[in-house]
Structure 1
Amino acid sequence: MKKYLLSIFTLITPFLTFAQEAANKGIDQIIDEKFGNATGWFVNAVFYQIPFSEDVKIYWVLFPLILGALYFTVYFKFINFSGFFTSINIVRGNYDDLEDRANHKVEISKSKFTDEDDNPDTIRIEGHEGEVSHFQALTAALSATVGLGNIAGVAIAVSIGGAGATFWMIVAGFLGMASKFVECTLGVKYRDIEDDGTVYGGPMYYLTKGLKSKGLGGLGKVLAVLFAIFVIGGSFGGGNMFQVNQAFQLVENITGGENSFLHGNGWAFGVVMAILVGIVIIGGIKKIAKVTDKIVPFMVAIYVAASLFVIFANFSMLGDAFAQIYNGAFSPEGIAGGAVGVLVQGFRRAAFSNEAGIGSASIAHSAVKTKYAASEGMVALLEPFIDTVVVCTMTALVLIITGNVAAENASLNDAQAILLTSGAFESAISWFPYVLTIAVVLFAFSSMISWSYYGFQGWSYLFGRTKKAEYSYKILFCLFVIIGSAASLGSVIGFSDAMVFAMMVPNMVGLVILAPKVRDELNKYMKAIKDRT
């Protein structure tokens, strides 16, 4: 009997310890500490800074990002500029006749997981009725990228790097267009399509199949496995915890800040969000995903309209704002690391916002029905332009015009920086923080659904395409929703950025090696357009 009691006591001791800590510190703080301790080593490794001088240190992961984007820009003869109007024409449907069908329909097929006419896991990618035009693919992908990165990420960048960080975000956006083109072309070229029509695509597949075709099968498998691990972590971090954490920050602030009934109870908000997300990704209720697809573009339009209202209401200050952006990019004052520090912040936040070169977008675009892989790559290159060059610049201008990029803001922590955007809009539109809070929750919800799909693709690559593997991942995903809302923003952003940038490393290696394959696809598609005319 004593033996059994000792065993039981041994098992419950950790829970008693946790309960005692909870009584002293609070659940949120304990989760934050445990999470920070568990992931700190990885964050430090990914964000190791190479010292170039006493004041200038550069993250090593920015080198493959910047150099890769520059390489693709030159290799494809500045396609981010020369192909811009062609991409718009593709989105408009001007070249749909090249696909041998007038309305660009994707055939509806039975899902192996349900009795419904479409796979609920890909409904956000495939469209409302199982149809996907290039325009629908673009808006579906944008619903996952335009959102919290533009609202909070820009505030973080300009609070640390000053107005000049905006300039480098714009540069990163233009360069990222070339990276996005390459990875999304490869995503379509090397995708797997099951007998039921379910699409499995992304870096896992073009790293495996593409590099095998180049005689580098072993390297391809290693890179594919690494990417699959990182995309799962990225879905838990940047696609989940980062989203719900920022949503909670604004909800808590709008309901009273430190006096809010939610203060110190982020886990409770997380439980509610986890249930809602779980209903969609576990229950497979397609109607909710369809409603989200309708609401999110509407909220993006509201956000852009509000930004334009603030900008044009202060039109006389616009010239000075652009001057601050330009001057701050090359001769910043009071910014750690000087111009290089500003550049680093701009590129770091741009990458997190538009995900160019990271590989996640290729997972979404691989589900598109097309004969020409390069056609979807051309469409995809518009995403960084819309997401970073347009929307992020609007957010930055609002922050600058309303005086929220002052020198004293450089020392703000991440949580305070997020609230800068809300306060900037409130100074011009008193009621807008309430609308922004709703938009943030919707953006977070939408992004979490999309990233659950990305992460599941990596999970299925590693553990198989079984029902058991599917639900194991989705239950874990919902648990991380709770962790994300309870952890501090510093821990969440560090882990989120680390996983996102870690995804980029194996992806970029594959993109550079497979660039000639993309060039062949581009030449084939451009020849088809030329022959048509």
Structure 2
Amino acid sequence: MIKRVSLFVILVMQSIAALASSQSIDEKIESFFGPVAEAVGGVVFFPILISGKKVPIVLIILLLGALFFTLYNKFANVRLLKVAIKAAKGDYDDIDLRQVSQVEGDATSNDENIFESPRAEPVVGEVTHFQALTAALSATVGLGNIAGVAVAIALGGPGATIWMILAGFLGMSTKLVEGTLGVKYREVDENGKIYGGPMYYLKKGLADKNLGGLGKFLAVFYAIMVVGGSFGGGNMFQANQAAAQAKQLFNVDSGWFFGVVMMILVGFVIIGGIKRIGKVTEKIVPFMGIIYVGAGFVILMMNISILPEALSKIFVEAFSPQAALGGVVGVMIQGFKRAAFSNEAGVGSASIAHAAVKTRFPASEGIVASIGPFVDTVVICTMSALVIVVVNIKENLFSYGDVKGSTVVLNKTGESIGGVDLTSLAFETAIPYFSYILTIAVILFAISTMLSWSYYGLQGWKYLFGKGKITDLTYKVIFLFMILVGASSSLNSVVDFSDAMIFAMVFPNMIGLFILAPKVKDEIVKYLKAIGHSSVKSE
């Protein structure tokens, strides 16, 4: 096993050295990944025509799956939101201490009517509910909320906001299922280390359904995709965008220095594993989320006289056949796409972080996991959208539908700017110098995303190559090196390829979620009964 890993590392290093030998790194990377990205993306994002609009097949699978889980679990995403918040706060942690294998104890040999006091076993897990939630959120809250929303609103119009919110609520149901299965089928080694996620519930869960062969194949496929996604979208893209923001802030040209700094910061955290990642993300994610949402709230209050008009536009254009992209279907696509691609519900990656939680009840973490899309999409993405719509009414920054690729054309200058720049411009128009705060937010969000994805990729890596210390260190060295590559290159094709790999994870994951949905329903009933929830009688 060590030889296989070592050979893989040598091949990777040789490939990177070859990339840098003649042409620039950028050119070599683009020439290699371009055709591959196009081929893989063509399959994953294969379009299906709906009312004349091209909709990626992966988006249809995500939305239909989310709708199914919402109905199947009787709107648990909304019905149990209060339970989710209380569980994340730790209000129900004491039930883990009260639960024992034999509730009534064992009868003594002298008198069968007298029972010995049973002793609860230690609760298995490495992080708290809140730490698991923030670790999962740190992988999704970032540029998608800041840059992606801007492009979606600019292209689809204000009405896309409504469909984005709806998709966010539906995505909560998918995350609930993923989080529950991640805990239910996790593995624990002799040192108390947790191994969980789709690889394990696909293999073990499908074996329980007499589909062991299919489960093993899907688990290996998923593991390969999560490793590739961790190096690309979860690492190099994040490093690249953070370095670009830092270079703009400090007005310098080289990304190497920022790459080295990020590599040191990330390395210091990931060496400590999920426990240290959880401790860091539970501080970064709430802090940056509060600053971002707080700034948005201030802008809305400053322009409260415009807010009714903005809300009217959002609701009217959500159902207007005259919407910017060309009808209700077009607006729906933009809203659904942004929500699904932002919160990653259905990708399965978040269940890897949620699997490490300290609990006896799988559904406890599944219910907590459902908070993720609510925070990511319903709160943060919606705040971005509201600010952009309000400021655009006031300042006439751009015309809806006037978008070139992933850039938006400004009305006053005719300049095309990226989504993050549009969001920055909207915020800075109301709050001078906010672009500096937003730059720091982008950098911190990027680093926190790298932290979580390093853990996701490591779990996939260990599933493929074994759980030894050499395997662990090998992955982390490669991951840290990729930060430097990402910060120093323009990685257009790599981003396309890594996006395709991340969303390729949807196909095996959703198969597992559909097959194992009854297991989740049973776990929800067990947990609600344990906490004495009133709805358990109607389950």
Q: Identify whether the pair has TM-score above 0.5, normalized to the shorter chain.
A: yes
The one-letter code matched in structure 2 to 1:244 is A
- Please report how far the alpha carbon of residue 521 of structure 1 lies from its aligned counterpart in structure 2 after TM superposition: 0.8
- In structure 1, what is the equivalent of residue 114 of structure 2? none
The one-letter code matched in structure 2 to 1:482 is L
Does the 8 Å contact 2:33/2:497 carry over to 1? no
Does the 8 Å contact 1:163/1:405 carry over to 2? no
2:240 is aligned with 1:245: yes
Does the 8 Å contact 1:245/1:486 carry over to 2? yes
Q: Map 1:46-445; keep pairs closer than 5 Å.
A: 46-52=44-50, 55-100=52-97, 126-127=126-127, 132=128, 134-255=129-250, 260-262=251-253, 265-266=254-255, 269-282=258-271, 290=279, 293-331=282-320, 333=322, 335-336=324-325, 338-403=327-392, 404=397, 406-407=399-400, 409-411=402-404, 413-414=406-407, 416-445=418-447
Q: What runs of 5+ residues in structure 2 fail to find an aligned partner?
A: 1-13, 100-119, 408-416
- Structure 2: how far apart are the matches of 1:32 and 1:420? 27
- Please report how far the alpha carbon of residue 215 of structure 1 lies from its aligned counterpart in structure 2 after TM superposition: 0.8
Q: What runs of 5+ residues in structure 1 fail to find an aligned partner?
A: 1-11, 110-124
- Please report how far the alpha carbon of residue 326 of structure 1 lies from its aligned counterpart in structure 2 after TM superposition: 2.4
| Secondary structure of residue in 1 paired with 2:55 | strand
- In structure 2, what is the equivalent of residue 485 of structure 1? 487
Does the 8 Å contact 1:28/1:267 carry over to 2? no
> What CA deviation, in whole Å up to 9, does each residue of 1:258-316 have, x standing for no partner?
xx432xx4455434423432343358798797456434422221111111111111111
| Structure with the higher helix share, 1 or 2 | 1
Q: Percent identity?
A: 56
- Please report how far the alpha carbon of residue 30 of structure 1 lies from its aligned counterpart in structure 2 after TM superposition: 4.7
- Structure 1: how far apart are the matches of 2:191 and 2:446? 31
Does the 8 Å contact 1:29/1:487 carry over to 2? no
Does the 8 Å contact 1:154/1:392 carry over to 2? yes
Q: Map 1:437-516; keep pairs closer than 5 Å.
A: 437-488=439-490, 490-516=492-518
| Secondary structure of residue in 1 paired with 2:48 | strand
- Structure 2: how far apart are the matches of 1:351 and 1:469? 33
| Secondary structure of residue in 2 paired with 1:367 | coil
- In structure 1, what is the equivalent of residue 7 of structure 2? none
Instruction: Count how many residue pairs are aligned between Structure 1 and Structure 2.
Output: 489
- Structure 2: how far apart are the matches of 1:242 and 1:16? 21
- Please report how far the alpha carbon of residue 382 of structure 1 lies from its aligned counterpart in structure 2 after TM superposition: 1.3
Over 3 Å counting, the alpha-carbon distance change for 1:512 and 1:318 in structure 2 is: same
> What CA deviation, in whole Å up to 9, does each residue of 1:419-460 have, x standing for no partner?
111111111111211111112111111110111000100110
- Structure 2: how far apart are the matches of 1:360 and 1:518? 17
- Please report how far the alpha carbon of residue 244 of structure 1 lies from its aligned counterpart in structure 2 after TM superposition: 1.9
- Structure 2: how far apart are the matches of 1:75 and 1:295? 35
What TM-score do you get using the length of structure 1 for normalisation?
0.84
Does the 8 Å contact 1:232/1:456 carry over to 2? yes
Over 3 Å counting, the alpha-carbon distance change for 1:173 and 1:106 in structure 2 is: farther
Over 3 Å counting, the alpha-carbon distance change for 1:150 and 1:449 in structure 2 is: same
Does the 8 Å contact 1:279/1:285 carry over to 2? no
- Structure 2: how far apart are the matches of 1:173 and 1:283? 32
Over 3 Å counting, the alpha-carbon distance change for 1:50 and 1:143 in structure 2 is: closer
| Secondary structure of residue in 2 paired with 1:57 | strand
Over 3 Å counting, the alpha-carbon distance change for 1:28 and 1:271 in structure 2 is: farther
Does the 8 Å contact 1:166/1:325 carry over to 2? yes
- Please report how far the alpha carbon of residue 195 of structure 1 lies from its aligned counterpart in structure 2 after TM superposition: 1.0
- In structure 2, what is the equivalent of residue 118 of structure 1? none
Does the 8 Å contact 2:194/2:355 carry over to 1? yes
Over 3 Å counting, the alpha-carbon distance change for 1:327 and 1:29 in structure 2 is: farther
The one-letter code matched in structure 2 to 1:254 is L
- Please report how far the alpha carbon of residue 239 of structure 1 lies from its aligned counterpart in structure 2 after TM superposition: 1.4
- Structure 1: how far apart are the matches of 2:220 and 2:198? 10
- Structure 2: how far apart are the matches of 1:354 and 1:524? 27
Deviates more, 1:396-405 or 1:303-312: 396-405
The one-letter code matched in structure 2 to 1:413 is S
- Structure 2: how far apart are the matches of 1:33 and 1:273? 27
Over 3 Å counting, the alpha-carbon distance change for 1:283 and 1:522 in structure 2 is: closer
The one-letter code matched in structure 2 to 1:40 is E
- Please report how far the alpha carbon of residue 487 of structure 1 lies from its aligned counterpart in structure 2 after TM superposition: 4.5
> What CA deviation, in whole Å up to 9, does each residue of 1:155-192 have, x standing for no partner?
23223322222222111100001000001001111100
- Structure 1: how far apart are the matches of 2:31 and 2:335? 29
- Please report how far the alpha carbon of residue 230 of structure 1 lies from its aligned counterpart in structure 2 after TM superposition: 1.2
Over 3 Å counting, the alpha-carbon distance change for 1:292 and 1:57 in structure 2 is: closer
- Structure 2: how far apart are the matches of 1:409 and 1:299? 31
- Please report how far the alpha carbon of residue 491 of structure 1 lies from its aligned counterpart in structure 2 after TM superposition: 3.2
> What CA deviation, in whole Å up to 9, does each residue of 1:237-266 have, x standing for no partner?
2211232232233223334xxxx432xx44
Deviates more, 1:411-420 or 1:79-88: 411-420
The one-letter code matched in structure 1 to 2:483 is V
Does the 8 Å contact 2:126/2:194 carry over to 1? no
- Structure 2: how far apart are the matches of 1:184 and 1:334? 37
The one-letter code matched in structure 1 to 2:94 is D
- Please report how far the alpha carbon of residue 370 of structure 1 lies from its aligned counterpart in structure 2 after TM superposition: 1.2
The one-letter code matched in structure 2 to 1:270 is G
- Please report how far the alpha carbon of residue 107 of structure 1 lies from its aligned counterpart in structure 2 after TM superposition: 6.6
Does the 8 Å contact 1:280/1:286 carry over to 2? no
Over 3 Å counting, the alpha-carbon distance change for 1:337 and 1:500 in structure 2 is: farther
Deviates more, 1:41-50 or 1:339-348: 339-348
- In structure 2, what is the equivalent of residue 41 of structure 1? 39
Does the 8 Å contact 1:167/1:326 carry over to 2? yes
| Secondary structure of residue in 1 paired with 2:23 | helix
Does the 8 Å contact 2:143/2:420 carry over to 1? no
